[in-house]
């Protein structure tokens, strides 16, 4: 007996893919707009509740489609207002999503993969291995869950999630198509309506994916750099052996230059680790490296976790490093550590990965063979 056809999860479909879906059903393209609003502006996931869609179409949709977000397992609230969501995805693994409030801004840090293949030495996620890419529905579903938790689907409610950063678990550019579809929904006027200047993709340096972004999206770009020379960066961020710093920065500059509003800057993320990359010589080396690159620099004090022997830098070392960069003319901020009491700070995310694959094998598949 043939297996019944799997229903399409509409939650992760971009506008173009949703239009194509309705065309296959013999329906007009305006149905895509209706569904986008119901799902992403009103938080409705049951077709029978969609009052401006005919009963016959609602019944047809129920036969061939679902609107399904991943499952919220736990929610942890920090004393500083940070909120961490532990979310189960298909296959039984879990990912983490973090909401960070800062005045009128509410930034949601979204995951793109179950685990991570890049194995950056200062990051808890890389230590748990890598399982798979998240689907577009599982990526945008993290936004859906966070918005729902704040009651933001109520038309009278204010907006809590104002910014999204693809800086959670995983390397976004190794899940290119699904990440771009999800980001398009974040920015779509009929979905979450977040400004392109408030959606940021962070990469550790997957140059082919970065090159591919040109002309396909115009989100903000962050580079997870952490060292100003290849020898040190090879130790901290192993993908640097494949795509060294000069190649990475050249690709990043080409992306920024391709944007319609050419005044945007690349955010350089630099995690300061005591005795490793936090000395004055490192600060001056970083300043020299970036002299012709349109950047702003975000310094991140290392956040300790169980599987690492690295230490957080002293406050004195942090401020001294920052001052060197400021004196050299760079906009330089220090990321305030938030949510460390619930292991939600930068570098601490580690969901529960089932059925792990050896990291070396997945590294070959995910990185060394990327087109």
Catalytic residue at 120? no
The backbone region for 227, taken as left when phi is positive above 0, alpha when psi lies in -120 to 50, beta otherwise, is beta
What is residue 78's predicted lDDT score, i.e. its pLDDT?
85
- The rounded distance, in Å, linking the Cα atoms of 45 and 306 is 39
**What's residue 348's pLDDT?**
45
- Report pLDDT for 173: 98
Quote the pLDDT of residue 124. 77
**pLDDT tens per residue across all 371 residues of the chain:** 455 679 999 999 999 999 999 999 999 999 999 999 999 999 999 999 999 999 999 999 999 999 999 999 999 988 888 999 999 998 888 999 999 998 899 999 999 999 888 988 888 777 777 889 999 999 999 999 999 999 999 988 888 999 999 999 999 999 999 999 999 999 999 999 999 999 999 999 999 999 999 999 999 999 999 999 999 999 999 999 999 999 999 999 999 999 998 789 999 999 999 999 999 999 999 999 999 999 999 999 998 877 778 899 999 999 999 999 999 999 999 987 654 554 544 444 455 545 444 444 444 454 444 43
99: nearest Cα among 362, 369, 338: 338
**In the 8-state DSSP scheme, what is residue 174?**
G
The residue annotated as part of the active site, out of 15, 96, 171, 269, is: 96
- Measured distance CA(371)–CA(292) in Å, rounded: 29
Q: What is the 3-state secondary structure (H, E, C) of 213-270?
A: HCCCCCCEEEEECCCCCHHHHHHHCHHHHCCCHHHHHHHHHHHHHCCCCCCCCEEEEE
| 309 neighbors 338 (Cβ within 8 angstroms) | no
State whether residue 268 is helix, strand or coil: strand
Q: Which helix or strand (DSSP H or E) is residue 72 part of?
A: strand 71-77
* Active-site option among 120, 123, 220, 346: 346
Two structure tokens written together for 318: 């942090």
The whole-number pLDDT of residue 347 equals 42
Give me the residue label for tokens 């089932």.
354
Contact call for residues 257 and 214 (beta carbons, < 8 A): no
Q: Is 346 a catalytic residue?
A: yes
- Residue 155's pLDDT is what? 80
The candidate with the shortest Cα–Cα distance to 322, out of 309, 308, 336, is: 336
Nearest-angstrom CA–CA distance, 284 and 294: 17
In 3D, which of 222, 110, 82 has the Cα closest to residue 166? 110
Specify the residue for token string 């529960």: 352
Q: Pick from 367, 371, 368: which is nearest to 171 by CA?
A: 367
Report the alpha-carbon distance of residue 75 to residue 150 in Å, rounded: 12
Radius of gyration for the alpha carbons in the chain, expressed in angstroms and rounded: 21
């Amino acid at each position: 007996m043939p297996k019944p056809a799997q229903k399409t999860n509409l939650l992760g479909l971009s506008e173009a893919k949703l239009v194509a879906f309705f065309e296959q059903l013999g329906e007009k393209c305006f149905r895509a707009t209706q569904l986008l609003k119901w799902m992403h502006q009103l938080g409705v996931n049951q077709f029978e509740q969609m009052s401006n869609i005919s009963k016959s179409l609602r019944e047809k949709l129920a036969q061939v489609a679902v609107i399904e977000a991943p499952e919220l397992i736990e929610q942890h609230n920090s004393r500083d207002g940070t909120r961490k969501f532990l979310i189960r995805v298909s296959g039984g693994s879990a990912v983490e999503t973090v909401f960070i409030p800062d005045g009128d801004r509410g930034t949601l840090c979204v995951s793109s993969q179950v685990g991570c293949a890049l194995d950056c030495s200062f990051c808890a996620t890389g230590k748990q291995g890598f399982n798979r890419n998240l689907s577009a529905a599982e990526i945008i579903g993290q936004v859906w869950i966070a918005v729902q938790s704040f009651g933001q689907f109520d038309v009278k409610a204010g907006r809590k999630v104002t910014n999204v950063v693809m800086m959670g678990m995983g390397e976004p550019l190794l899940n290119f198509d699904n990440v771009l579809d999800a980001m398009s929904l974040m920015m779509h006027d009929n979905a979450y309506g977040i400004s392109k200047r408030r959606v940021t993709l962070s990469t550790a340096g997957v140059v082919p994916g970065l090159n591919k972004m040109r002309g396909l999206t115009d989100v903000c770009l962050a580079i997870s750099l952490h060292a100003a020379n290849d020898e040190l960066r090879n130790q901290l961020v192993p993908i640097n052996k494949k795509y060294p710093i000069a190649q990475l920065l050249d690709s990043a500059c080409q992306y920024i230059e391709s944007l319609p509003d050419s005044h945007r800057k690349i955010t350089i993320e630099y995690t300061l680790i005591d005795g490793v990359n936090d000395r004055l010589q490192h600060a001056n080396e970083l300043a020299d490296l970036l002299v012709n690159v349109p950047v702003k620099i975000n310094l991140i004090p290392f956040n300790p976790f169980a599987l690492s022997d690295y230490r957080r830098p002293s406050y004195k070392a942090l401020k001294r490093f920052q001052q060197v960069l400021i004196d050299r003319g760079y906009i330089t901020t220090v990321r305030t550590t938030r949510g460390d009491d619930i292991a939600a700070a930068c570098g601490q995310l580690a969901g529960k990965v089932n059925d792990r694959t050896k990291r070396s094998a997945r590294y070959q598949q995910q990185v060394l063979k990327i087109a």
